[in-house]
Amino acid sequence: ENVLTQSPGTLSLSPGERAILSCRASQSVYNNNLAWYQQKPGQAPRLLISGASSRATGIPDRFSGSGSGTDFTLTISRLESEDFAVYYCQQYGSLPRTFGQGTKLEIK
Amino acid sequence: EVQLVESGGGLVQPGGSLRLSCVASGFTFSNYWMRWIRQAPGKGLEWVANIKPDGSEKYYVDSVKGRFTISRDNTKNSLSLQMSSLRAEDTAVYYCARDTGTFDYWGQGTPVTVSS
């Protein structure tokens, strides 16, 4: 299976700063079928990005995804208070679908 | 508006059984793969099982094979997960999700605790 490794495990930043989250796959992700999700405490995950770079409906443009092959990045250009959460990447280029272990974005 | 509403979670003893349900609305349920995904306390996301739109294909993570059964009733827009021989490591919040490769809609989750 395609193992996804996210880094860092925890990222401590202040509102207004830029966040860069990484997701590395053990094998190339077919067709760059890589998604990002945001999860806040007590809530279900929410789809942010699909196809490595396409924002889901209603997702603010401060969220952007990039990358290809085995290396992908989620960038949040200017952090707002509601962005502090856990972020997961997920690949859907091969079976089984797999998730990364998550990056916790916390307020510094 | 797409909605997924789970129910059926609770406290169960090791070796016991539980049936989770998920009722869908706001989309044509019979056109979509559906999936159960769980999250153990303080842990990440793990897919449990998924099912083809017509119910003819079902897949399970190795750790639940032979113990869990996924099913659906397209006439009632409902998805189910029958869980038996439950273990402490099955303790988690269980989410149903619409499966389009990505998981674009999720329910609010139903908690399952396996403990004596």
Tell me if B104 sits within 8 A of B10, measured CB to CB. Answer: no
Q: Which of residues 16-55 of A touch B (CB under 8 A)?
A: 33, 35, 37, 43-47, 50
The tens digit of pLDDT for each residue in B84-113 reads 999 999 999 999 999 999 999 999 999 999
In this prediction, residue B22 carries a pLDDT of 98
* B30: confidence class by pLDDT, cuts 50, 70, 90: very high
The tens digit of pLDDT for each residue in B41-98 reads 999 999 999 999 999 999 999 999 999 999 999 999 999 999 999 999 999 999 999 9
Q: Which two tokens mark A5?
A: 């490794």
In this prediction, residue A47 carries a pLDDT of 98
Nearest to A44 among B44, B47, B109 (CB): B109
Burial class (CB in 10 A: 0-12, 13-18, 19+), A14: exposed
Looking at beta carbons, which residues of chain B come within 8 Å of A102?
A: 44-45
Tell me if B9 sits within 8 A of B114, measured CB to CB. Answer: no
In this prediction, residue B14 carries a pLDDT of 97
Q: Which residues are CB-neighbours of A10 under 8 A, at least 6 positions away?
A: A103, A104, A105, A106
Q: pLDDT per position in chain A (108 positions), as tens?
A: 999 999 999 999 999 999 999 999 999 999 999 999 999 999 999 999 999 999 999 999 999 999 999 999 999 999 999 999 999 999 999 999 999 999 999 999
Specify the pairing of strand A19-25 against strand B3-7: unpaired
Tell me if B67 sits within 8 A of B75, measured CB to CB. Answer: no
Burial class (CB in 10 A: 0-12, 13-18, 19+), B78: middle
A16–chain B nearest CA distance, Å: 27
In this prediction, residue B28 carries a pLDDT of 98
- Nearest-Cα residue of chain B relative to residue A103: B44
Helix (H, G, I), strand (E, B) or coil at A81: helix
Q: Residue B110 forms beta bridges with which residues?
A: B94
B5–chain A nearest CA distance, Å: 12
Looking at beta carbons, which residues of chain A come within 8 Å of B103?
A: 35, 37, 45, 47, 90
In this prediction, residue A91 carries a pLDDT of 97
Read off the pLDDT of each residue in B32-38 and give the average, rounded to a whole number.
Answer: 98
Separation of alpha carbons B40 and A62, rounded Å:
30
Contact B102 A99 (CB under 8 A): no
